Amino acid sequence: MSFIGNFQIPTNTLDLFIRSVDISSYLPGRVRLYSNNLIGNADLEAQIQSQLGSFAEIDSVQTNVTSGSILILYTPERLRQNADLRKVEEYIMTHARRK
């Protein structure tokens, strides 16, 4: 593991995004996140949909600007073929409130 990896410092925008939200629950293939910044913010919703939706390994991204909820659905085996997404999933697994 690299020096930066030892300190769990975000190394890309996806990593930074995941660390800026509340990781409510994790099951392989299903992650629920919450962001207070998303509440009432249609522009941020569009950015999240665009950025996360651009990953072929992610099946579905559902957002709710009323609650600030983000639901990400994916096929674990396919997602884990992407090294960056695998790293994010590993972070989520250890930081989710409910598993």
Q: So where are the chain's domains?
A: 11-95
At 7 the pLDDT is 46
Closest of 17, 18, 15, 20 to residue 5, by C-alpha: 15
Mean per-residue pLDDT, 54-74: 97
Mean per-residue pLDDT, 68-97: 94
Identify the sign of the CA torsion 22, 25, 27, 31. negative
CATH of domain 11-95: 3.30.70
* pTM score, whole prediction: 0.83
Q: Tens digit of pLDDT for each residue in 5-35?
A: 444 544 567 777 887 899 999 999 999 999 9
Calculate the average pLDDT of the chain.
87
Query: 92's torsion region: left (phi>0), alpha (psi -120 to 50) or beta?
Result: alpha
